[in-house]
């Protein structure tokens, strides 16, 4: 396999996956500390690409340099975080249950740890050319798990993807990893992705992108003779509750905060707050006024590419075409290539009647839903369940008046924010970037943070295995010095 290949035929895909399986069988045996060094070397090689990488991505995505420098930092940080996780070692969830020969029936010696699934296919996102793409969280977590990885390059930033692939190839060579531990394939047609998911050696799939794409890959994987796990992270409208007392006390500052979040990065975040829900009140009028004034001052900006801009224009037009929906912001005509921010408005009753208003409008857009009372607010909120995030802007008085809201929030989204904005996804052990369908295809996992590795592993139990034949993580004297569950006692 060359560094990057354009794949058009099924025999070529079979060859890629055979190579990936072959590499996997070697790579998974490499000890965790060497895998850690490999991940750190990938981070080093990405940094070594220097300005060429940043300039290439700027040209391909219209994203500003400061943003790309920040995203590159997050990407290398993620790789190093997984390296640290591998060196620390407890993530394998090792468990030891000693034999009890005198029990009736006799209890055998049983030991358990997590092992890698096999070759993983990664489909990156257009809006995060580094952090959710070629060497992003899916690739980093799968390589950390001990899986080989095949990245299907995103056509919107193909040159960026090739550069990152070259950095990984350099790290493979430097660290003497199996040659096809990572492979980078190109191919514009949807058939390429479908064939990769259906190939028998493929063991799991990570995807970040649209609902239609993520759902299609999930369906292909489920229909295989041997189904495989698919973690698709798809659209999200990230509903925000603006509670009465919070508006009463802080309408203007909340409006300013949210104007920033809605338009950050031209609204091109999966955690962009696209739905604001509030109860009619004088304070809400003040919120609207401040929000609209702030939004009207945001200059029109270039989106990632013309396709994204066209979809933004179409989706917001679809929303505004609903009779009951008003545009609160200025009617600035779109020029050929820039996106303007927009705040739509609808009543709770009309929102509930129009399914199309629940759909994500990817871009600097939000719809404010004005409800008559708390019951309608809850109805509206529940009707958009299945989210990456949901946010509650409220005071102690608000939460004392409605103690049920935080519990409700946990059924709606994977991350519940109080008095903050959902944009900005911190990378740490407590982060959950996931949520009920359709936010993702499996709410039991996260795509961000060290727990992202759990998507690519399965437990294996060793029964009555002599100590010298056990993996180090399970040996009696615990040579890796990791936290383990011993005889049912957590984390000895």
Please tell me which residue in 40, 60, 186, 233 is annotated as part of the active site.
233
Q: Cα–Cα–Cα angle for 485, 488, 492, nearest 5°?
A: 35
Span of 7-15, 41-49, 274-282, 464-472 interacting with its own copies by CB under 8 A: 464-472
Identify whether 270 is a catalytic site residue: yes
Question: SS3 letters for 259-314?
Answer: HHHHHHHHHCCCCCCCEEEEECCHHHHHHHHHHHHHHHCCCCEECCCHHHHHHHHH
Site for its own copies in 59-98 (CB under 8 A): 88, 90, 95-97
Token pair of 277, please? 């829900």
Among 163, 280, 322, 465, binds its own copies (CB under 8 A): 465
Please tell me which residue in 40, 186, 270, 360 is annotated as part of the active site.
270
- Give the HSE-up count for residue 445: Cα atoms under 13 Å, Cβ half-sphere: 18
Per-residue exposure over 154-187, b if at least 16 CB sit within 10 Å of its own CB, e if not: bebbbebbbbbbbbbbbbbeebebbebbbbbbbb
The answer to whether residue 460 forms part of the interface with its own copies (CB under 8 A) is yes
The answer to whether residue 101 forms part of the interface with its own copies (CB under 8 A) is no
Span of 104-112, 174-182, 293-301, 306-314 interacting with its own copies by CB under 8 A: 104-112
Site for its own copies in 227-246 (CB under 8 A): 227-229
The residue among 103 and 299 lying less far from its own copies, judged by its C-beta, is 103
Which position has the token pair 């060359």?
2
Check if the beta carbon of residue 365 is closer than 8 Å to that of residue 267: yes
The residue among 165 and 384 lying less far from its own copies, judged by its C-beta, is 384
- Give the HSE-up count for residue 186: Cα atoms under 13 Å, Cβ half-sphere: 14
The answer to whether residue 441 forms part of the interface with its own copies (CB under 8 A) is yes
Q: Minimum CB separation from its own copies for residue 418, in Å?
A: 5
Among 72, 112, 154, 402, binds its own copies (CB under 8 A): 112
Identify whether 147 is a catalytic site residue: no
Alpha-carbon span 142 to 122, nearest angstrom: 9
The answer to whether residue 438 forms part of the interface with its own copies (CB under 8 A) is yes
Span of 125-133, 220-228, 315-323, 340-348 interacting with its own copies by CB under 8 A: 220-228
Under 8 Å CB-to-CB from 41, ≥6 apart: which residues?
A: 170, 171, 174, 175
Among 279, 457, 473, 480, binds its own copies (CB under 8 A): 457
Kindly state the helix (H) or strand (E) to which residue 95 belongs, with its residue range: strand 95-97
Pick from 350, 295, 292, 341: nearest CA to 321: 350
User: φ and ψ at 418, to 5 degrees?
Assistant: -110, 125
The answer to whether residue 200 forms part of the interface with its own copies (CB under 8 A) is no
Span of 106-114, 132-140, 187-195, 320-328 interacting with its own copies by CB under 8 A: 106-114
Site for its own copies in 25-64 (CB under 8 A): 29
| Active centre residues (catalytic) | 233, 270
């Amino acid at each position: 396999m060359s560094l990057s290949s354009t794949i058009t035929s099924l025999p070529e895909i079979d060859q890629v996956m055979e190579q990936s399986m072959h590499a996997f069988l070697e790579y998974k045996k490499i000890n965790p500390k060497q895998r850690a060094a490999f991940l750190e070397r990938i981070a080093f090689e990405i940094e070594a690409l220097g300005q060429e990488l940043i300039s290439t991505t700027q040209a391909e995505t219209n994203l500003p340099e400061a943003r790309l420098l920040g995203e590159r930092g997050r990407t290398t940080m993620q790789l190093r975080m997984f390296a640290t996780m591998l060196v620390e070692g407890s993530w394998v969830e090792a468990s030891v249950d000693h034999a009890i020969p005198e029990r009736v029936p006799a209890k055998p010696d049983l030991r358990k740890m997590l092992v890698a699934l096999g070759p993983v296919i990664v489909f990156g996102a257009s809006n995060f050319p580094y952090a959710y793409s070629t060497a992003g969280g899916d690739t980093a977590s799968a390589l950390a798990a001990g899986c080989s990885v095949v990245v299907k390059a995103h056509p919107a930033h193909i040159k960026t993807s090739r550069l990152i692939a070259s950095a990984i190839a350099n790290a493979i060579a430097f660290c003497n990893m199996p040659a096809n531990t990572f492979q980078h394939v190109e191919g514009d047609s949807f058939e390429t992705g479908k064939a990769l998911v259906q190939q028998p050696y493929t063991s799991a799939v990570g995807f970040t992108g649209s609902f239609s794409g993520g759902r299609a890959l999930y369906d292909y994987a489920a229909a295989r003779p041997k189904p495989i796990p698919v973690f698709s992270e798809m659209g999200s409208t990230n509903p925000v509750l603006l509670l009465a007392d919070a508006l009463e006390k802080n309408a203007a500052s909340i409006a300013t905060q949210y104007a920033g979040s809605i338009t950050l990065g031209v609204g091109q975040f999966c955690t962009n707050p696209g739905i604001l829900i509030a109860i009619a009140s004088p304070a809400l009028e003040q919120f609207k006024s401040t929000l609209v004034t702030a939004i009207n001052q945001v200059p029109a900006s270039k989106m990632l590419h013309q396709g994204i801009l066209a979809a933004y224009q179409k989706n917001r037009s679809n929303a505004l075409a609903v009779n009951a929906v008003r545009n609160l912001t200025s009617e600035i005509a779109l020029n050929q290539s820039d996106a303007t921010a927009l705040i739509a408005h609808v009543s709770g009753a009309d929102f509930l009647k129009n399914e199309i208003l629940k759909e994500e409008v990817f871009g600097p857009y939000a719809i404010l839903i004005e409800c008559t009372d708390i019951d309608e607010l809850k109805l509206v909120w529940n009707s958009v369940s299945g989210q990456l995030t949901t946010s509650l802007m409220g005071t102690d008085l608000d939460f004392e008046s409605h103690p049920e809201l935080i519990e409700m929030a946990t059924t709606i989204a994977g991350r519940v924010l109080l008095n903050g904005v959902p944009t900005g996804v911190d990378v740490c052990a407590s982060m959950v970037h996931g949520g009920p369908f359709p936010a993702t295809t499996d709410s039991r996992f996260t795509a961000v943070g060290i727990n992202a590795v759990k998507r690519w592993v399965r437990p294996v139990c060793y029964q009555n295995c002599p100590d010298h034949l056990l993996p180090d993580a399970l040996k009696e004297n615990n040579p890796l010095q990791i936290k383990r569950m011993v005889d049912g006692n957590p984390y000895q």
